[in-house]
């Protein structure tokens, strides 16, 4: 029987429900269990694909091309389990499928209602495609009490009834704020949050209490008493210096032990069972050595480098969640601490160049629209001319090609059709391509979700190129995409003659996927998003190599 853990959040948003879910997933995995992690977001957008990064942070893309909340990035980084479309939904998607069924007449003339039709649809989503998972960890987005989240809470309340207490567990993540004037941690907001949950019929089994200082036994007793949760199930979730410490800290606080106890998967019992099956006992004790090694590497760097990130959304760093994590991973591999210089692409040219002069490497990440493009082009030109390591991701690759066209080839009109009609469409809308066996066709009129190249695509690497070396000699790689426009191969010959090599192509030879400069120590542009696949325990080779190139540049400058 699959066990379900539901994670809700109270008091405020941004408490780290996604991280808590991901960390619990990794702890259960470390005990030998198979997990799937999924999220339901309460908002009415069908997916976050059309939302501004300022509203929602980064849009995470899975292998199968699902545009999802950034928490799915945490799930993958902590568990290495590939997320898929059956792991992410929104109220918008749930409602649209119910309404589509109603239009088709599936409800046979019945009145369509939130209960049972919407809640049934939610329950179907939660219990669908579970495969051989021992645990389904299911995060409910938003904060308890939000109006649009009510059907989600009602559905998980029903699921406890349907599946039984022994197969379901409610974890509530809440904030215990420190009030300086009183010199105390306050439990009242959490008491109220639990009361709200109770009013929907949900009694949490475990309280995860976020705080910036240790919670005393007395405060724990209070929370236990007022929230009707066992004392040992009041788990302290203290702020930590790196997110990869979270599984270790949770384990020290007994979180995974309590989860296992609830489901009867106690250490003793399970070990005995394993012995009777002549299997090695001890698998129920989590092996956390991987996390300890990662944390040690992060806390003890040998060097540090400054990486300038020139983007449009630098005011909200959630917009670059996977990117900063991938750079941290690249640092883990090299024992280098990456420090970030965030540069708003709309910074006036002189200030922008001054900021870049402190950088050991420059990165232009993905982005959309013309605003900020001139600043990004200037940063790319600076990296090219001053031989500063450059990594261009998606938009950052497209703009690197445009920059070389304009400033090296002298094609002043070189542009992307994303910015309007142009005589020199160096980057243009892709209207047809082959996705596996399926021929895909789009036009300017397709809806916004429809024109994107999304998910994993293969890419052939040019023999003897820098990228092939970086990918350890691989001929074929698979990376994730999220973009509407493509580099136009019609400019390839001319660009290659001036040093910009096209070193990665789609297997049909139609879509340029990677460019690199042969006259530069480290200048790479990739059409895909390598940051989406990087893991702390398996840093992505492009980021590991880029961070290392930054250190080499720094050393060369100091010599
Ligand atoms: N705006 C560009 C496109 O749609 C790049 C997108 C991105 O960087 N993700 O093709």
In whole angstroms, what is the distance from residue 264 CA to residue 273 CA? 12
Q: How would DSSP label each residue in 339-381?
A: EEEEEETTS-HHHHHHHHTT-SEEEE----SSTTHHHHHHHHH
370 catalytic residue (yes or no): no
CA 545 centroid distance within chain: 21
CA-to-CA dists, residue 309 to 314, 351, 362, 390, angstroms: 8, 14, 6, 10
From the CB of 531, is ligand 1 less than 6 Å away? no
In this prediction, residue 436 carries a pLDDT of 57
pTM: 0.93
Which is the catalytic residue, given 76, 121, 424, 531?
531
Which residues share a beta bridge with 486? 428
Atom 1 (ligand 1): residue with closest C-alpha? 368
Q: Which atom, in ligand 1's list, is nearest to the CA of 393?
A: 8
Burial class (CB in 10 A: 0-12, 13-18, 19+), 543: buried
In this prediction, residue 268 carries a pLDDT of 52
The answer to whether residues 378 and 362 touch, using CB atoms and an 8 Å cutoff, is no
Please work out, in degrees rounded to the nearest 5, the angle formed at the alpha carbon of residue 350 by the alpha carbons of 344 and 353. 65
Ligand 1 midpoint to CA 481 (Å): 9
State whether the Cα torsion 83-450-542-323 is positive or negative: negative
In this prediction, residue 439 carries a pLDDT of 58
From the CB of 88, is ligand 1 less than 6 Å away? no
From the CB of 483, is ligand 1 less than 6 Å away? yes
Going residue by residue through the chain, which has 559 residues, state the pLDDT in tens, using 9 for 90 and above.
899 999 999 988 888 999 999 999 999 999 999 999 999 999 999 888 888 888 788 999 999 999 999 999 999 999 999 999 999 999 999 999 999 999 999 999 899 999 999 999 999 999 999 999 999 999 999 999 999 999 999 999 999 999 999 999 999 999 999 999 999 999 999 999 999 999 999 999 999 999 999 999 999 999 999 999 999 999 999 999 999 999 999 999 999 999 999 998 865 555 666 667 666 544 467 889 999 999 999 999 999 999 999 999 888 888 999 999 999 999 999 999 999 999 999 999 999 999 999 999 999 999 999 999 999 999 999 999 999 999 999 999 999 999 999 999 999 999 999 999 999 999 998 765 555 556 555 665 555 445 789 999 999 999 999 999 999 999 999 999 999 999 999 999 999 999 999 999 999 999 999 999 999 999 999 999 999 999 999 999 999 999 999 999 999 998 8
- State the DSSP code for 367: -
In this prediction, residue 165 carries a pLDDT of 95
Q: What is the CA radius of gyration of the chain?
A: 25
CA 281 centroid distance within chain: 35
Residue 364 in tokens? 């232009």
394 catalytic residue (yes or no): yes
In whole angstroms, what is the distance from residue 459 CA to residue 475 CA? 8
In whole angstroms, what is the distance from residue 221 CA to residue 451 CA? 55
From the CB of 485, is ligand 1 less than 6 Å away? yes
Q: Which atom, in ligand 1's list, is nearest to the CA of 365?
A: 8
In this prediction, residue 282 carries a pLDDT of 47
Atom 6 (ligand 1): residue with closest C-alpha? 483
Residue in the structure block whose two tokens are 């660009």: 495
From the CB of 39, is ligand 1 less than 6 Å away? no
Ligand 1 midpoint to CA 483 (Å): 4
- State the DSSP code for 118: I
In this prediction, residue 449 carries a pLDDT of 47
From the CB of 480, is ligand 1 less than 6 Å away? no
């Amino acid at each position: 029987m699959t066990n379900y853990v539901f994670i809700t959040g109270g008091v405020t948003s941004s408490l780290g429900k996604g991280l808590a879910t991901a960390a619990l997933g990794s702890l259960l995995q470390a005990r030998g269990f198979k997990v799937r992690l999924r999220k339901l977001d309460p908002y009415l957008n069908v997916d976050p694909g059309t939302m501004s990064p300022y509203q929602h942070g980064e849009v995470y893309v899975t292998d199968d091309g699902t545009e999802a909340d950034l928490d799915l990035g945490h799930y993958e980084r902590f568990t290495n389990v590939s997320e898929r479309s059956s792991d992410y939904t929104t109220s918008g998607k749930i409602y649209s499928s119910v309404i589509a069924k109603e239009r088709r007449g599936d409800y046979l003339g019945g009145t369509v209602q939130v209960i049972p039709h919407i809640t049934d649809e939610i329950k179907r989503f939660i219990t669908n495609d579970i495969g051989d998972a021992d645990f389904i960890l299911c995060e409910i987005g938003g904060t308890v009490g939000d109006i649009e989240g009510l059907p989600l809470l009602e559905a998980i309340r029903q699921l406890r009834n349907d599946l039984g207490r022994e197969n379901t567990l409610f974890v509530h993540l809440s904030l215990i704020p420190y009030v300086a004037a009183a010199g105390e941690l306050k439990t009242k907001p959490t008491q109220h949050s639990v009361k709200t949950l109770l009013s929907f019929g949900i009694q949490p089994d475990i309280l995860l209490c976020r705080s910036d200082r240790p919670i005393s036994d007395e405060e724990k007793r209070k929370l236990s008493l007022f929230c009707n949760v066992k004392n040992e199930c009041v788990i302290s979730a203290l702020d930590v210096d790196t997110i990869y410490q979270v599984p270790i800290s949770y384990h020290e606080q007994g979180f995974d032990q309590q989860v296992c106890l609830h489901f009867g998967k106690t250490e003793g019992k399970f070990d005995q069972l394993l012995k009777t099956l002549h299997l090695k006992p001890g698998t129920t004790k989590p092996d956390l050595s991987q996390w300890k090694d990662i944390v040690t590497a992060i806390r003890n760097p040998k060097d540090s480098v400054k990486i300038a990130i020139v983007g449009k959304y630098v005011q909200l760093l959630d917009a670059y969640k996977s990117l900063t994590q991938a750079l941290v991973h690249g640092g883990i591999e090299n024992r280098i601490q990456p420090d970030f210089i965030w540069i708003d692409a709309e910074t006036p040219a002189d200030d922008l160049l001054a900021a870049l002069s402190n950088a050991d490497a420059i990165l232009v990440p993905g982005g959309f629209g013309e605003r900020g493009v001139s600043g990004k082009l200037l940063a790319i030109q600076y990296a090219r001319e001053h031989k500063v390591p450059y990594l261009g991701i998606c938009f950052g690759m497209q703009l690197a090609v445009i920059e070389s066209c304009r400033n090296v080839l002298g094609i002043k009109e070189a542009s992307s059709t994303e910015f309007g009609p142009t005589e020199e469409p160096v980057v243009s809308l892709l209207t047809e391509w082959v996705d596996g066996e399926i021929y895909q066709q789009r036009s300017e009129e397709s809806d916004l979700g429809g024109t994107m190249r999304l998910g994993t695509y293969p890419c052939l690497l040019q023999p003897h190129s820098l990228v092939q070396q970086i990918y350890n000699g691989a001929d074929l790689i698979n990376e994730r995409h999220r973009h509407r426009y493509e580099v136009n191969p019609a400019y390839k010959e001319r660009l290659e003659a001036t040093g910009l090599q096209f070193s990665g192509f789609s297997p049909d030879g139609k879509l340029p996927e990677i460019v690199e400069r042969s006259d530069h120590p480290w200048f790479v542009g990739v059409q895909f998003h390598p940051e989406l696949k990087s893991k702390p325990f398996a840093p992505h080779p492009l980021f590991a190599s880029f961070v290392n190139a930054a250190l080499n540049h720094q050393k060369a400058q100091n010599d």
